[in-house]
Protein backbone atom coordinates (compact mmCIF):
# COMPACT_ATOMS: atom_id res chain seq x y z
CA UNK A 1 0.00 0.00 0.00
CA UNK A 2 1.39 3.40 -1.05
CA UNK A 3 -0.60 6.36 0.26
CA UNK A 4 0.09 9.98 1.22
CA UNK A 5 -0.79 9.51 4.87
CA UNK A 6 0.88 9.53 8.27
CA UNK A 7 -0.91 6.95 10.41
CA UNK A 8 -3.96 5.10 8.98
CA UNK A 9 -5.79 5.77 12.26
CA UNK A 10 -5.42 9.54 11.76
CA UNK A 11 -6.46 9.88 8.12
CA UNK A 12 -9.92 11.33 8.72
CA UNK A 13 -9.09 13.95 11.41
CA UNK A 14 -5.95 15.04 9.54
CA UNK A 15 -7.88 15.40 6.28
CA UNK A 16 -10.51 17.50 8.06
CA UNK A 17 -7.75 19.71 9.45
CA UNK A 18 -6.47 20.11 5.90
CA UNK A 19 -9.91 21.13 4.62
CA UNK A 20 -10.17 23.81 7.30
CA UNK A 21 -6.66 25.08 6.59
CA UNK A 22 -7.30 25.24 2.84
CA UNK A 23 -10.73 26.90 2.93
CA UNK A 24 -11.08 29.96 5.21
CA UNK A 25 -14.83 30.17 4.57
CA UNK A 26 -15.33 26.78 6.25
CA UNK A 27 -14.98 25.64 9.83
CA UNK A 28 -14.56 22.18 11.33
CA UNK A 29 -16.04 20.94 14.59
CA UNK A 30 -13.17 18.53 15.21
CA UNK A 31 -14.81 16.81 18.19
CA UNK A 32 -17.75 15.74 16.03
CA UNK A 33 -15.96 15.75 12.66
CA UNK A 34 -18.38 18.19 11.10
CA UNK A 35 -17.45 20.55 8.26
CA UNK A 36 -19.71 23.62 8.26
CA UNK A 37 -20.04 27.07 6.78
CA UNK A 38 -18.26 29.80 8.69
CA UNK A 39 -21.19 32.20 8.25
CA UNK A 40 -23.77 30.15 10.18
CA UNK A 41 -26.43 30.76 11.29
CA UNK A 42 -28.26 32.18 8.27
CA UNK A 43 -31.57 33.41 9.73
CA UNK A 44 -34.60 32.35 7.71
CA UNK A 45 -32.67 29.87 5.57
CA UNK A 46 -33.40 26.14 5.54
CA UNK A 47 -30.32 24.23 6.65
CA UNK A 48 -28.93 21.41 4.50
CA UNK A 49 -27.02 18.59 6.17
CA UNK A 50 -25.48 15.48 4.71
CA UNK A 51 -22.68 13.12 5.53
CA UNK A 52 -21.43 9.59 5.31
CA UNK A 53 -18.30 7.54 5.48
CA UNK A 54 -15.04 9.16 4.48
CA UNK A 55 -13.28 7.96 1.35
CA UNK A 56 -15.79 9.45 -1.11
CA UNK A 57 -14.26 12.93 -1.24
CA UNK A 58 -15.18 15.54 -2.22
CA UNK A 59 -18.54 14.11 -1.10
CA UNK A 60 -19.68 15.46 1.38
CA UNK A 61 -17.40 18.02 3.03
CA UNK A 62 -16.24 19.37 -0.32
CA UNK A 63 -19.81 20.45 -1.06
CA UNK A 64 -20.23 22.66 2.01
CA UNK A 65 -20.65 26.33 1.20
CA UNK A 66 -22.81 28.90 -0.53
CA UNK A 67 -25.47 27.21 -2.67
CA UNK A 68 -25.00 23.68 -1.36
CA UNK A 69 -24.65 22.15 2.10
CA UNK A 70 -24.49 24.03 5.38
CA UNK A 71 -22.83 21.16 7.24
CA UNK A 72 -21.52 17.67 6.57
CA UNK A 73 -20.37 15.01 9.01
CA UNK A 74 -17.59 12.54 8.25
CA UNK A 75 -17.58 8.98 9.51
CA UNK A 76 -14.55 6.75 9.45
CA UNK A 77 -13.60 5.45 6.00
CA UNK A 78 -16.64 3.71 4.48
CA UNK A 79 -18.43 3.90 7.86
CA UNK A 80 -21.58 5.87 8.61
CA UNK A 81 -21.30 8.84 10.97
CA UNK A 82 -22.87 8.14 14.35
CA UNK A 83 -26.08 9.90 15.50
CA UNK A 84 -24.19 12.33 17.76
CA UNK A 85 -22.21 13.59 14.76
CA UNK A 86 -25.36 14.07 12.69
CA UNK A 87 -27.04 15.81 15.64
CA UNK A 88 -24.11 18.22 15.97
CA UNK A 89 -24.26 19.00 12.23
CA UNK A 90 -28.03 19.52 12.42
CA UNK A 91 -27.73 21.97 15.30
CA UNK A 92 -25.02 23.93 13.47
CA UNK A 93 -27.11 24.14 10.29
CA UNK A 94 -30.36 25.05 12.04
CA UNK A 95 -31.06 28.74 11.43
CA UNK A 96 -34.70 28.59 12.47
CA UNK A 97 -36.36 27.49 9.21
CA UNK A 98 -35.86 23.75 9.65
CA UNK A 99 -33.24 21.33 8.38
CA UNK A 100 -33.15 18.98 5.40
CA UNK A 101 -31.13 15.79 5.76
CA UNK A 102 -29.75 14.40 2.50
CA UNK A 103 -29.11 10.71 3.12
CA UNK A 104 -27.66 8.08 0.80
CA UNK A 105 -29.58 4.81 1.00
CA UNK A 106 -27.24 2.70 3.11
CA UNK A 107 -28.64 0.98 6.18
CA UNK A 108 -26.29 2.65 8.68
CA UNK A 109 -26.72 6.13 7.19
CA UNK A 110 -30.51 5.89 7.16
CA UNK A 111 -30.71 4.60 10.74
CA UNK A 112 -28.25 7.10 12.20
CA UNK A 113 -29.77 10.11 10.43
CA UNK A 114 -33.24 9.04 11.63
CA UNK A 115 -32.01 8.81 15.22
CA UNK A 116 -30.31 12.20 14.96
CA UNK A 117 -33.47 13.79 13.55
CA UNK A 118 -35.49 12.48 16.47
CA UNK A 119 -32.89 13.79 18.94
CA UNK A 120 -32.81 17.21 17.27
CA UNK A 121 -36.57 17.55 17.30
CA UNK A 122 -36.80 16.53 20.97
CA UNK A 123 -33.86 18.67 22.14
CA UNK A 124 -34.39 21.84 20.12
CA UNK A 125 -37.90 21.58 18.66
CA UNK A 126 -36.53 22.02 15.15
CA UNK A 127 -38.26 20.39 12.25
CA UNK A 128 -36.10 17.94 10.31
CA UNK A 129 -37.07 16.33 7.01
CA UNK A 130 -35.01 13.62 5.31
CA UNK A 131 -34.70 12.81 1.62
CA UNK A 132 -33.03 9.49 0.84
CA UNK A 133 -31.23 9.03 -2.49
CA UNK A 134 -31.55 5.64 -4.20
CA UNK A 135 -30.54 6.13 -7.83
CA UNK A 136 -28.25 3.13 -8.52
CA UNK A 137 -29.93 0.85 -11.07
CA UNK A 138 -27.25 -1.86 -10.80
CA UNK A 139 -28.76 -3.97 -8.03
CA UNK A 140 -31.88 -3.93 -5.87
CA UNK A 141 -30.24 -4.97 -2.59
CA UNK A 142 -26.55 -4.85 -1.74
CA UNK A 143 -24.05 -5.41 1.05
CA UNK A 144 -25.16 -2.45 3.18
CA UNK A 145 -28.45 -1.59 1.53
CA UNK A 146 -32.11 -2.53 1.57
CA UNK A 147 -33.27 -1.30 -1.82
CA UNK A 148 -31.18 0.66 -4.27
CA UNK A 149 -27.96 2.40 -3.31
CA UNK A 150 -27.60 6.18 -3.23
CA UNK A 151 -24.79 7.33 -5.50
CA UNK A 152 -24.25 10.07 -8.13
CA UNK A 153 -27.65 11.74 -7.84
CA UNK A 154 -26.64 12.74 -4.31
CA UNK A 155 -24.19 15.30 -5.71
CA UNK A 156 -26.76 16.78 -8.08
CA UNK A 157 -29.43 16.85 -5.38
CA UNK A 158 -27.18 18.67 -2.92
CA UNK A 159 -26.48 21.35 -5.53
CA UNK A 160 -30.07 21.80 -6.69
CA UNK A 161 -31.71 21.64 -3.25
CA UNK A 162 -28.95 23.86 -1.89
CA UNK A 163 -29.82 26.51 -4.48
CA UNK A 164 -33.50 26.27 -3.55
CA UNK A 165 -32.63 26.79 0.12
CA UNK A 166 -30.39 29.73 -0.76
CA UNK A 167 -33.38 31.39 -2.46
CA UNK A 168 -35.26 31.34 0.84
CA UNK A 169 -37.73 28.59 0.01
CA UNK A 170 -39.49 26.78 2.85
CA UNK A 171 -38.42 23.39 4.18
CA UNK A 172 -41.33 21.64 2.43
CA UNK A 173 -40.47 23.36 -0.86
CA UNK A 174 -36.78 22.46 -0.63
CA UNK A 175 -37.67 18.86 0.24
CA UNK A 176 -40.04 18.66 -2.73
CA UNK A 177 -37.27 19.80 -5.09
CA UNK A 178 -34.91 17.24 -3.56
CA UNK A 179 -37.41 14.41 -3.98
CA UNK A 180 -37.99 15.43 -7.59
CA UNK A 181 -34.27 15.22 -8.29
CA UNK A 182 -34.03 11.75 -6.78
CA UNK A 183 -37.10 10.54 -8.67
CA UNK A 184 -35.73 11.75 -12.02
CA UNK A 185 -32.14 10.53 -11.69
CA UNK A 186 -30.53 7.15 -12.33
CA UNK A 187 -26.91 5.92 -12.10
CA UNK A 188 -24.68 2.97 -12.98
CA UNK A 189 -21.00 2.40 -12.27
CA UNK A 190 -18.07 0.20 -13.28
CA UNK A 191 -14.80 -0.62 -11.53
CA UNK A 192 -11.55 -1.39 -13.33
CA UNK A 193 -9.69 -1.97 -10.05
CA UNK A 194 -10.52 -2.38 -6.39
CA UNK A 195 -9.79 0.24 -3.74
CA UNK A 196 -7.62 -0.02 -0.63
CA UNK A 197 -8.91 1.16 2.74
CA UNK A 198 -5.92 2.65 4.64
CA UNK A 199 -6.65 0.78 7.86
CA UNK A 200 -6.91 -2.53 5.99
CA UNK A 201 -3.88 -2.17 3.75
CA UNK A 202 -4.92 -4.46 0.91
CA UNK A 203 -7.52 -4.29 -1.89
CA UNK A 204 -11.16 -4.68 -0.87
CA UNK A 205 -11.73 -7.28 -3.59
CA UNK A 206 -9.74 -9.03 -6.28
CA UNK A 207 -10.23 -8.15 -9.92
CA UNK A 208 -8.29 -9.83 -12.70
CA UNK A 209 -6.19 -7.89 -15.21
CA UNK A 210 -8.74 -8.48 -17.95
CA UNK A 211 -11.88 -7.98 -15.84
CA UNK A 212 -14.30 -5.19 -14.85
CA UNK A 213 -16.96 -5.15 -12.12
CA UNK A 214 -20.12 -3.84 -13.80
CA UNK A 215 -22.50 -2.13 -11.38
CA UNK A 216 -19.97 -1.82 -8.55
CA UNK A 217 -20.94 0.05 -5.39
CA UNK A 218 -18.99 3.00 -4.01
CA UNK A 219 -17.65 0.87 -1.14
CA UNK A 220 -16.57 -1.94 -3.45
CA UNK A 221 -19.84 -3.85 -3.12
CA UNK A 222 -20.47 -6.43 -5.85
CA UNK A 223 -22.30 -5.24 -8.95
CA UNK A 224 -24.39 -7.01 -11.55
CA UNK A 225 -21.64 -9.11 -13.05
CA UNK A 226 -17.94 -9.41 -13.72
CA UNK A 227 -17.24 -8.92 -17.42
CA UNK A 228 -14.19 -8.76 -19.69
CA UNK A 229 -12.40 -5.41 -19.99
CA UNK A 230 -13.78 -3.48 -22.97
CA UNK A 231 -13.16 -0.25 -24.94
CA UNK A 232 -14.70 2.98 -23.64
CA UNK A 233 -17.42 2.94 -26.30
CA UNK A 234 -18.64 -0.45 -25.09
CA UNK A 235 -18.39 0.51 -21.42
CA UNK A 236 -20.46 3.63 -22.14
CA UNK A 237 -23.19 1.47 -23.62
CA UNK A 238 -23.07 -0.93 -20.64
CA UNK A 239 -23.59 2.02 -18.27
CA UNK A 240 -26.07 4.12 -20.24
CA UNK A 241 -28.45 1.48 -21.55
CA UNK A 242 -29.64 0.24 -18.12
CA UNK A 243 -30.07 3.85 -17.00
CA UNK A 244 -32.16 4.79 -20.04
CA UNK A 245 -34.28 1.67 -19.68
CA UNK A 246 -35.00 2.18 -16.00
CA UNK A 247 -36.67 5.60 -15.84
CA UNK A 248 -37.39 5.48 -18.84
CA UNK A 249 -36.20 8.61 -20.65
CA UNK A 250 -38.08 9.74 -23.76
CA UNK A 251 -36.97 11.37 -26.99
CA UNK A 252 -36.65 15.12 -26.55
CA UNK A 253 -36.11 14.89 -22.78
CA UNK A 254 -33.51 17.29 -21.43
CA UNK A 255 -30.89 15.71 -19.20
CA UNK A 256 -27.97 16.64 -17.04
CA UNK A 257 -25.21 14.11 -17.76
CA UNK A 258 -22.76 13.45 -14.93
CA UNK A 259 -19.73 11.28 -15.72
CA UNK A 260 -18.03 10.65 -12.40
CA UNK A 261 -14.57 9.32 -11.63
CA UNK A 262 -14.25 6.84 -8.78
CA UNK A 263 -10.89 8.21 -7.62
CA UNK A 264 -8.22 6.44 -9.66
CA UNK A 265 -9.23 7.32 -13.21
CA UNK A 266 -7.70 10.45 -14.80
CA UNK A 267 -9.79 13.19 -16.38
CA UNK A 268 -8.32 12.30 -19.76
CA UNK A 269 -10.13 8.98 -19.64
CA UNK A 270 -13.30 10.45 -18.14
CA UNK A 271 -13.61 12.80 -21.11
CA UNK A 272 -13.11 9.87 -23.50
CA UNK A 273 -15.97 8.14 -21.72
CA UNK A 274 -18.10 11.29 -21.67
CA UNK A 275 -17.72 11.64 -25.44
CA UNK A 276 -19.05 8.10 -25.91
CA UNK A 277 -21.90 8.67 -23.45
CA UNK A 278 -22.85 11.94 -25.16
CA UNK A 279 -22.88 10.18 -28.53
CA UNK A 280 -25.29 7.53 -27.22
CA UNK A 281 -27.57 10.10 -25.60
CA UNK A 282 -27.86 12.36 -28.62
CA UNK A 283 -28.34 9.32 -30.83
CA UNK A 284 -31.25 8.34 -28.58
CA UNK A 285 -32.89 11.72 -29.10
CA UNK A 286 -32.03 13.21 -25.73
CA UNK A 287 -31.01 16.84 -25.28
CA UNK A 288 -27.90 17.02 -23.09
CA UNK A 289 -28.65 20.36 -21.47
CA UNK A 290 -25.87 20.33 -18.87
CA UNK A 291 -22.86 18.20 -18.00
CA UNK A 292 -20.54 17.50 -15.10
CA UNK A 293 -17.32 15.52 -15.54
CA UNK A 294 -14.85 14.69 -12.78
CA UNK A 295 -14.23 12.79 -9.54
CA UNK A 296 -17.04 14.07 -7.32
CA UNK A 297 -18.20 10.90 -5.51
CA UNK A 298 -15.21 8.61 -5.23
CA UNK A 299 -14.20 5.30 -3.74
CA UNK A 300 -10.70 6.09 -2.49
CA UNK A 301 -8.27 5.01 -5.24
CA UNK A 302 -10.64 2.83 -7.26
CA UNK A 303 -10.20 3.11 -11.02
CA UNK A 304 -13.55 3.32 -12.75
CA UNK A 305 -16.47 5.58 -13.43
CA UNK A 306 -20.18 6.02 -13.01
CA UNK A 307 -22.75 7.69 -15.22
CA UNK A 308 -25.70 9.60 -13.77
CA UNK A 309 -28.51 11.01 -15.86
CA UNK A 310 -30.96 13.51 -14.40
CA UNK A 311 -34.07 14.49 -16.34
CA UNK A 312 -34.42 18.25 -15.95
CA UNK A 313 -36.91 21.03 -16.59
CA UNK A 314 -36.54 24.81 -16.58
CA UNK A 315 -36.74 25.04 -12.79
CA UNK A 316 -34.12 22.35 -12.12
CA UNK A 317 -31.79 23.87 -14.73
CA UNK A 318 -32.16 27.29 -13.15
CA UNK A 319 -31.31 25.86 -9.73
CA UNK A 320 -28.34 23.96 -11.17
CA UNK A 321 -27.03 27.16 -12.78
CA UNK A 322 -27.47 29.21 -9.59
CA UNK A 323 -24.28 30.46 -7.88
CA UNK A 324 -22.29 27.97 -5.83
CA UNK A 325 -19.08 28.37 -3.85
CA UNK A 326 -17.71 25.20 -2.30
CA UNK A 327 -14.30 23.52 -2.39
CA UNK A 328 -15.44 21.15 -5.16
CA UNK A 329 -18.05 23.11 -7.16
CA UNK A 330 -17.78 26.81 -7.85
CA UNK A 331 -19.47 29.02 -10.42
CA UNK A 332 -21.48 32.22 -10.67
CA UNK A 333 -19.68 33.96 -7.78
Query: Which CATH architecture is the domain 185-311 placed in?
Result: 2-Layer Sandwich (3.30)
Q: Let me know the angle formed at the C-alpha of 52 by 121 and 150, rounded to the nearest 5 degrees.
A: 100
* Element containing residue 52 per DSSP (H, E): strand 47-54
Burial of 226 (0-12, 13-18, 19+ CB in 10 A): middle
The pLDDT value recorded for residue 147 is 84
Considering 23, 36, 56, 60, which one is annotated as catalytic? 56
Active-site residue flag, 219: yes
Considering 23, 60, 101, 219, which one is annotated as catalytic? 219
pLDDT tens string, the chain, 333 residues long: the values are 899 999 999 999 999 999 999 999 999 999 999 999 999 999 999 999 999 999 999 999 999 999 999 999 999 999 999 999 999 999 999 999 999 999 999 999 999 999 999 999 999 999 999 999 999 999 876 666 678 999 999 999 999 999 999 999 999 999 999 999 999 999 999 999 999 999 999 999 999 999 999 999 999 888 889 999 999 999 999 999 999 999 989 999 999 999 999 999 999 999 999 999 999 999 999 999 999 999 999 999 999 999 999 999 999 999 999 999 999 999 999
Task: For the chain, give every residue range classified as CATH 3.40.50.10440.
Answer: 11-184+321-331
Model-level pTM?
0.96
Q: In what side-by-side order are the strands of the sheet with 34-37?
A: 26-29, 34-37, 71-77, 47-54, 99-104, 128-133
Task: For the chain, give every residue range classified as CATH 3.30.1180.20.
Answer: 185-311
C-alpha to C-alpha distance for 110 and 103, rounded to whole angstroms: 6
CATH for 11-184+321-331, options being 2.60.450.10, 3.30.200.20, 1.20.1330.10, 3.40.50.10440: 3.40.50.10440
Active-site residue flag, 56: yes
Q: In b/e form, how buried is each residue of 114-131, taking b as 16+ CB within 10 angstroms? A: bebbebbeeeeebbbbbb
DSSP 177-202: HHHHHHHTEEEEEEESS--B-TTT-S
- DSSP-based three-state secondary structure for 234: helix
* Element containing residue 175 per DSSP (H, E): helix 171-183
Amino acid sequence: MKKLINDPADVVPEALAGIEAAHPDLRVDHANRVVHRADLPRPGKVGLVSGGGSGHEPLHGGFVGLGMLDAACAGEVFTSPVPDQVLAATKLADSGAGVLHVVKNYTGDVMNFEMAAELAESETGSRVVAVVTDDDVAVQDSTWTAGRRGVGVTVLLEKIAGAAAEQGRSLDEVAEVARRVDANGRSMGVALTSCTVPAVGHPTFELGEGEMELGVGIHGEPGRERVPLAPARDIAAMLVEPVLADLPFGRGDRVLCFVNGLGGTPLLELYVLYNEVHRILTGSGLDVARSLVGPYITSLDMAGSSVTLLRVDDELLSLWDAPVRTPALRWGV
